[in-house]
Amino acid sequence: MKTDVLILGTGSAGEMLASLLAQSGKSVLIVEEHLIGGECPFYSCMPSKAMLRSAGARFDATQTVKLGATSTPLELDDHEDAFACAVSRREKIVENRDDSANEENLIQLGVEVVRGTGVISQPGSVSVGKEIFEYDQLVISTGSASFVPPIPGLNDLDAWTTDKALTSTELPKTLIVIGGGPAGCELAQVYSRFGTKVTIIEPEKRLLAQEEEAISVELGNMFEAEGIELVIGTAISSVEESTTGGATVVLEDGRKLNADRLLVATGRKPRVEGIGLELLGIEIDGKGAIPTDQHCRVQGLENVWAGGDVGGIAPLTHTANYQARIIAAGILGTPRSANYNSIPRCVYTDPPVASVGRSYADAITAGIDAVTTQIDLRNTARHIVDGGSGGLLILTADRSTKALIGAAAIGPHCDEWITEAVLAIRAQIPLEILIDVVHSFPTYSEGYEEPYRALLSAIQ
């Protein structure tokens, strides 16, 4: 029997899409070889944020005298004991990687669940083992996998990927993190705050190389103040097992760094191999992703769609959920076009980093007549009463439209208050209106007011 919609892979996009379509009366069949819900709830977003919260609370306990909460420093317990408690909490939050509740929820909605590896066998059908399932509409939502760079000797070591780190109970005494992107920065801070001596190696000239330079520099300074060592702008020549059983990293400048553990956090790649894309004539793009149009339909095919990391566009959980709604609208006959200009990007370090839209440098490169300004969050009243870590807010506007096109921040809770900029960019709210927005006192969101006025003054 042919199903209306077959969803190959049920990460964030696939799971939400199955629910939306089933509730709208479509027959839906999902094929999942691992966990319904994908990486985010079990291996990445949720466990990493759980560990960050535990690490943050432990760090906060060292700040009680500074904040006037105690007259003498608190005596913390052993790092290993505390880390074990954090891991226990993590495992409860990820429900020991049991997706049975997710499966049951979909089944109750009428979704047919097939466990196994799905492969496109020909246009209109997918095979799972010896079984063949036919479809009218196919949605490819196979997610992504950790990318391990081709560094000589790396495959010979028992190195961690982020998935392995977030399922391990081990607290190494020393740790080298390869990669200064979001995941590398988050996990470096987790382990550092539980007593591990952490070194980050990043071949680019700064952490979070895709973000505003001033934001990256601020985060790097904060990390170094916490004792995290940064090796920036130097590539790795090779890695090998050390004489003590750990890892030795050989840098291109000849230096050798040793650690008990090596964590490879160099990003992720779309999971497209071995699923039969060639039988539909689908060619992956230069990023290794499936190319789609503004409706998330695979280019050149009327009844094939792709959502989530496999499409390579802003590979984040909230993007995947957004694309699920876009695909559902298309399949249900009420097509919508995706707009990626205002997808927020967050790194949940302490303090977090958050951004949306274009950086000033990107805007200039794109030929936009842009203007930018920034404010030091240490100048806000909220910073004074909180005794926080400070930070920056950088805003970029287009002179021609007098509207915001980019925002970037590092500072307490900026992952929450960046939403004001998200809305401003998505709705193209004129600066004349933004300068009239009243913010609660004292909040970090007050930091928007001075830059709004500065941008409008520079444009007029």
Rg (CA), the chain: 24
The answer as to CATH 3.50.50.60 being correct for domain 3-37+99-145+269-331 is yes
DSSP assignment of 129-149, as one string? TTEEEEEEEEEE---EEE---
The single-letter code of the amino acid at 63 is Q
| Tokens 């042919």, located at residue | 2
| Tokens 């205002």, located at residue | 342
Q: In the chain, where are the structural domains located?
A: 3-37+99-145+269-331, 154-267, 345-459
pLDDT at 453: 98
User: In terms of DSSP bridges, do strands 304-306 and 174-178 run parallel, antiparallel, or are they unpaired?
Assistant: unpaired
pLDDT at 42: 93
Measured CA to CA, the distance from residue 319 to residue 144 in angstroms comes to 14
Measured CA to CA, the distance from residue 401 to residue 44 in angstroms comes to 38
Phi/psi at 457 (5° precision): -65, -40
pLDDT at 387: 87
User: What top-level class would CATH report for the domain 345-459?
Assistant: alpha beta
Who contacts 363 (Cβ-Cβ below 8 Å, separation ≥6)?
370, 396, 398, 405, 406
- Inter-CA distances, 269 with 134, 305, 329, Å: 28, 18, 27
Q: b/e map of 337-367 (b: 16 or more CB within 10 Å)?
A: ebeeebbbbbbbbbbbbbbbbbbbebbeeee
How many residues comprise the chain? 460
C-alpha 392 chain-centroid distance: 21
pLDDT at 172: 98
pLDDT at 267: 94
Measured CA to CA, the distance from residue 163 to residue 220 in angstroms comes to 24
pLDDT at 390: 87
- Inter-CA distances, 76 with 62, 72, 406, Å: 8, 12, 42
Give the residue from 409, 366, 358, 360 showing the smallest Cα distance to 388: 409
What averages of pLDDT result for each successive group of 10 residues across the chain (460 residues)?
A: 94 95 97 93 95 97 95 96 98 94 96 97 96 97 94 94 96 98 98 98 96 96 97 96 90 95 96 95 94 96 97 95 98 97 97 97 96 95 90 97 98 97 98 97 96 95
User: Which H or E run contains 459?
Assistant: helix 449-459
- CA within 13 Å, CB half, 187: 35
The answer as to CATH 3.50.50.60 being correct for domain 154-267 is yes
| Tokens 């992720």, located at residue | 268
Same fold yes or no, 3-37+99-145+269-331 and 154-267: yes
Question: Do 137 and 298 form a contact (C-beta atoms < 8 A)?
Answer: no
Question: Do 323 and 14 form a contact (C-beta atoms < 8 A)?
Answer: no
Measured CA to CA, the distance from residue 149 to residue 157 in angstroms comes to 13
